[in-house]
Amino acid sequence: MNQLVENLNALMGGLFLLAAFGMVAMRQARGCLNLFITQSVLLAASAALLGVRYHSEHLYGVAIVNLISKPLIVPWLLRKTSLEEIYTRREVDQVLNIPTALLIALGLTILAYFLGRPLSNAVGSEFRGPNVSIGIAGLLLGAFTLTVRREAVPLLLGVLAMENGAFFAGIAISRNLPMLVELAIATDGLIIVFIMGVLTRAVQKHIGTTAVGELAALKEEAAEPASEEVLAK
């Protein structure tokens, strides 16, 4: 039974990794959102499985909190604060072409495994599975997503994916964080979505596009002087 649970947990980890890869490569904003929801569900599943393995109700609580906040509330909040049409955006040309980005992501995953092994061994002798390494991989892949994507929604989801990754490692090594802290972190995630949604709406309204990665007006070599909007103040 324990072996089955451990293997299932490893399976959740493998699919979690795959979802993180998908977020790097997926062109559509809506597809990215679906992958993020999948990733959050897998995180909750892994937490529940680890709870079964360690007989810890605390982890069940973590699973439930994650299951409610990320797959359900985050998309709803996103729909409320930013405009519906940003979901139809897809990136026609990317910063890096997709196969190259996937190969770099693979390299980051291998790096994460090398980082995660000694950490996992140093914490103790209980079963920990691949959670720490996959968590670090999720973290690094989320950061990588932030550098290669241009549209607003994938950038926001990259930030949340980084937190997912950190949490995926956390449920294995720091299991007894007070429940209050878990709830506060979940609420924090929601506030992030709210603020970034409002910002995206403002960007869309005043600039006209949500390809925020392409905004590059603030540089040292700016040729024109400060624009007329400043004079109008």
Partner 1 sequence: MSVIVLLLIPLAATALVCLPLKRAWPMGVTVAANLALLILTARLAWWVADGNAAVSAPQVWLLKWIAVDGLSALILLLIALVATTAAIFSIGYLGHENLPPFKLRLYYANYNLFIFSMLAVPVLAEPTLVWIVVELTTLCSALLVSFDNTREALEASWKYVLLSLMGAGLALFGFLVLFAAMQASGVQTAYTWNGLVAAAPKMPPILLQTSFVFILIGLGTKVGLVPMHTWLPDAHSQAPSPVCALLSGVETTAVLYVILRLFPVMHASPGAHAEIWALVLGLISVGTAAFLLLQVRDYKRMFAYSTVEHMGVILTAVGLGAAVAGYGAMQQILAHSVTKSFCFFAAGSVLLMAGTREIAAVRELVRRSPVAGAALVFGGLAITGAPPLAIFLSEFTILKAGLTQGQYLATGLLAAFIVIAFFGVMLHVNRMVFGSPTEGRMNGSSDKWMNGSQPASSDGATTPSIHQSKSPPIQPARLPFSCGLALVLAAIPVLVLGLYMPEPLHELLTQAAAVLK
Partner 2 sequence: MTQRILFNLLQVLVVMIFAPLASGVSSRLKEIIQSKRGPSIFQPYRDLWKLFHKDEIVSEDSSWVFRFTPYMVFVAPIFVTLLIPVLTNYPLFFAFMGDMLGGGFVLSLGGFFATLAAVDTANPYGPVGASRTRMVGFLAEPVFMIVFFTVSFVAGSTIPYIVQQKWVTPLANFFLPSHVLLVLAFLMLILAEGGRIPVDNPTGHFELAMIDESKSLEYSGRGFALMKWGGQMKFFVLLCIFLNVLVTPWGLAGNQTLGAISLLPPVTGPDLRLIAVLLAIPLVLFKILCFLLVLVAIESSLSKLRLFRISEFLGAAFITSVAAMIAQVFL
List residues near partner 2 by CB under 8 A. 3-4, 6-8, 10-11, 13-15, 17-18, 21, 25, 98-99, 102-103, 105-106, 109-110, 113, 117, 130, 133
Where residue 89 falls (left for φ over 0; alpha for ψ -120 to 50; beta otherwise) is beta
Residue 24 near residue 141 (C-beta atoms within 8 A): yes
C-alpha distances out from residue 28 to 22, 84, 148, 152, 205, Å: 11, 14, 14, 11, 21
Angle, helix 152-173 to helix 57-68, in steps of 10 degrees: 170
Q: How far apart are CA 170 and CA 134, in angstroms?
A: 11
Nearer to partner 2, 86 or 128 (CB): 128
Rounded-to-10 torsion of CA 195, 199, 200, 206: 160
Which residue shows structure tokens 């390809």? 211
Q: How far apart are CA 161 and CA 88, in angstroms?
A: 21
159 binds, among partner 1, partner 2, none (CB under 5 to 8 A by kind): partner 1
CA 59, chain centre distance (Å): 20
Nearest distance, CB of residue 129 and partner 2, angstroms: 8
Among 209, 14, 41, 227, CA closest to 131: 14
83 binds, among partner 2, partner 1, none (CB under 5 to 8 A by kind): none
155 binds, among partner 1, partner 2, none (CB under 5 to 8 A by kind): partner 1
Which residue shows structure tokens 């979901």? 87
Nearer to partner 2, 5 or 183 (CB): 5
Nearer to partner 1, 7 or 214 (CB): 214
Binding site for partner 1 (CB under 8 A): 115, 118-119, 122-124, 135-136, 139, 142-143, 146, 152, 155, 159, 162-163, 165-167, 169-170, 173-174, 176-177, 180-181, 184-185, 188, 191-192, 195-196, 198-199, 202-203, 206-207, 212, 215-218, 220, 222, 225-231, 233
63 binds, among partner 2, partner 1, none (CB under 5 to 8 A by kind): none
Nearest distance, CB of residue 79 and partner 1, angstroms: 19
113 binds, among partner 1, partner 2, none (CB under 5 to 8 A by kind): partner 2
Nearest distance, CB of residue 16 and partner 2, angstroms: 10
